[in-house]
Amino acid sequence: MESVNFDIYEVATSEVYTTEQELYNCLKTLNDGVPVIVDFDETLWLRNSTETFLSNVSPSLWVGFWLQLLGLVRPWCWLSPKDPDHTRDWVRVLTIVIVAPWSIWQWNKVAVKLAKQHLNQNLYHALIQSKQPVMVASYGFGFVIQPLLDALNASWPLIVASDLKTAPNLRKEGKGAAVVKVLGIEVVQKGLSISDSKLDSDLLAMTRYSALLQWPEAKYQQAGLKPMLPFVYLKKIKRPDESYFTRAILGHDYLLLLLIFSLASTTPLLSALCLLLFVLSYFTAYEIGYYENDRLGLINECKPKVSKDYHKLAHNFVPYFSWIMSGLLAILASIVATQVNGLRSIFYHDNIYSSAIHIWLVFVVLLISVRLVFAWFNRLPEIGRIVPMLALQLARTTGYLLIFTTSMAGVLFCISQALSQWIPYMIYRFGGSRNQFPIHLVNFMLLLCFLIIESLNYGGSFSTIWHYWLTWVLVGYSMLRAAIELRTFIKHLKLQRSD
């Protein structure tokens, strides 16, 4: 059976093969003693050995936590900004070996069972029948690959592989140069190299015969993605091209809550920590709605806006796990909240545990309510979604009023923020464009209107609402954001000619 053709690099070999049949014919006609240098991952073995190793370390939840945390932080981009792939697998494997030192022992037991399960049988038997000296060269890790080779009883030496000390150096050096160090250039030049990856183009260019092809049965399965930790679905699938966690969740929602509630508290630092935990809990549960939105969008919408990675990764999202994580974060937040000044009076009990439980139950009711509204939102026709969207926007700020107290200006600020976010969505659903909508300018105007109306309740006198410094902080913040936005919106305020 012929495999999928693969674009070839320009190489210095005299014969290049792009199908299995061509490769097998070559193996049958090679002169005796011609060395065959074969890649391991997704070539001789139809899986990625590194990912298979990582996916077989238990407990899987512990491993998944570290791998997904690394995926969010991406330290390899700091270590080698020009070529992050040179250090990615090394960082991931090294981390797991450190946090799960039993992993290598586990792998030695598992490798015996997996070796033949994912073996490329056609290639393996063709290499056996050719009776040529076969050597394995890989960017994978030696302590992972060697047990697999031992289980195959093929007695083919692993001449090049990474280890936990030199893995980045091997990537920089290149597989071709590493093989030459072991075999010598003359031996390599008369040989046959087999690989599925263009990363091996340097080795392919050195050998007289080369085969660069992919096997349809080969499969790459990234390890440690199930169950997805909080915000991984958001980062990898829902909004992969946005810094949504830092820009929207922390940079917008959390910042607003700090201004509204922490500044009104006499324990601002504890309040800030408590709010951070509540925000993380809130959006961990909220992420279930994003997942459901994608899933139902594919069913109900004519043109669903779903990431290309949805079909590949979404099965790793487990809603009940998100509920568990959200609940645990809410417990931590509720415990911290018992030390915060600025809670509603109903939460102050003589018993701290009673207070924490009371706070947690109220917040969980908020989470469940928001989840139900989001479920309603996901099942409505697109225009009808403007109704639950208002509730969802209000909950992101005003929902915390169930637990915390603030000034009247803070309450009005919550409402103005929600409305300024809701209006452009309503415009969008009715066919308009929200790209240039001045959200912060509208928020400032709404807040100012609300404050003026509140002032008029006091018979036109200078209302006590203006006596609080928090009012001026909120107005100043809104004014600053509006002024920044006004620089691009000002062109729409110029008078038109009347002659």
- What's the pLDDT tens digit per position in 311-338? 989 999 999 999 999 999 999 999 999 9
Higher pLDDT, 260 or 14: 260
Query: Which residue from 328, 317, 325 is spatially nearest to 292, judged by alpha carbons?
Result: 317
pLDDT at 453: 87
Give yes or no for residue 125 having a pLDDT over 60.
yes
Average pLDDT score over residue span 363-387: 96
Residue 129 exposed, middle or buried by CB count within 10 Å (0-12, 13-18, 19+): exposed
Give yes or no for residue 161 having a pLDDT over 50.
yes
pLDDT at 11: 43
pLDDT at 186: 92
pLDDT at 80: 87
Q: Are 193 and 9 in contact (CB under 8 A)?
A: no
| Residue with tokens 């893995």, as numbered in its chain | 167
Q: Quick one: DSSP state of residue 30?
A: P
pLDDT at 265: 93
Q: Which of 38-42, 150-154, 411-415 is least confident?
A: 150-154
* Cα–Cα distance for residue pair 466/89, rounded to 1 Å: 58
pLDDT tens per residue across span 49-105: 999 999 999 999 999 999 999 998 899 999 888 888 889 999 999 999 999 999 999
Domain 15-212 belongs in CATH node 3.40.50: yes
Q: Are 188 and 202 in contact (CB under 8 A)?
A: no
Q: Quick one: DSSP state of residue 36?
A: E
- Helix ranges restricted to H, 101-166: 103-114, 121-130, 142-152
DSSP codes of every residue in 222-261 = -SS-SSPPTTHHIIIIISTTS-HIIIIIIIIIIHHHIIII
Domain boundaries, the chain: 15-212, 225-403, 407-493
Give yes or no for residue 305 having a pLDDT over 90.
no
pLDDT at 463: 67
Using DSSP's 3-state secondary structure scheme, residue 194 falls into strand
* Cα–Cα distance for residue pair 238/294, rounded to 1 Å: 8
pLDDT tens per residue across span 452-478: 888 877 655 556 788 889 999 999 999
Query: Which residue from 169, 142, 171, 200 is spatially nearest to 13, judged by alpha carbons?
Result: 200
pLDDT tens per residue across span 277-300: 999 999 999 999 999 999 998 988
pLDDT tens per residue across span 166-206: 899 999 999 999 999 999 999 999 999 999 999 999 999 99
pLDDT tens per residue across span 197-248: 999 999 999 999 999 999 999 999 899 999 999 999 999 999 888 889 999 9
* Cα–Cα distance for residue pair 157/105, rounded to 1 Å: 22
pLDDT tens per residue across span 402-448: 999 999 999 999 999 999 999 999 999 998 888 889 999 999 999 99
| Rounded percentage of the chain residues whose pLDDT exceeds 70 | 96
Give yes or no for residue 153 having a pLDDT over 90.
no
Average pLDDT score over residue span 368-383: 96
pLDDT at 462: 56
For the record, the structure tokens of 284 come out as 């961990």
pLDDT tens per residue across span 334-365: 999 999 999 998 998 878 999 999 999 999 99
pLDDT at 4: 37
pLDDT at 90: 96
pLDDT at 277: 98
Average pLDDT score over residue span 113-140: 94
Cα-only R_g, the chain: 30
pLDDT at 2: 40
pLDDT at 335: 96
